[in-house]
Structure 1
Amino acid sequence: GSLAAVDALLERLAPQGCLSLHCYTGHEGGAAEEAALAQRLARLEPRRWRVLHCRDANRESHGESILLAERLPVRQR
């Protein structure tokens, strides 16, 4: 499913690469899928990833959102 696909893509993402997910929650199961994807990305290590979850702030219904995961550059010690 979506989680397995996201995991596979995250493994292949180069440093400074970005994964963009457009989540549409207006269909059956859409909200649960968005929540599962958001939870998966929220568990990524903050030193190595930047994760954003963007949605409309001025609408009652949140029918869609965008999740972004950026792989941060490798820092040399």
Structure 2
Amino acid sequence: MHATMTSKKQQERIATLESEIQELQAVLGEGEDAEVIVSSHIKLLHRYNESKDAAQILMGRLAAHRGATIRQLHNEYGLTDRD
């Protein structure tokens, strides 16, 4: 596909891509490092998952203590399956 592009079309494509890069850099923020942002988001996701796991363990223990199911506790506290 790219081998059949004319030189003019290649230059137009390059200009379009460079323009898109500039637009995306403006959204990201000048001088911001995408890898740093992604790394930060990954760390936050890990913290979230650890917190959610701890909450699920506590819900399980509370359910066992009460002789109830986790679903019953979710209903009691107004939690959905996504919570």
- Asked whether the two chains share a fold, i.e. TM above 0.5, the reply is no
Bigger relative contact order, structure 1 or 2, given CA contacts below 8 A and separation 6+? 1
Compute the TM-score of the two structures, normalised by the length of structure 1: 0.27
- Give the structure with higher Rg (CA): 2
Pick the structure with more helix per residue: 2
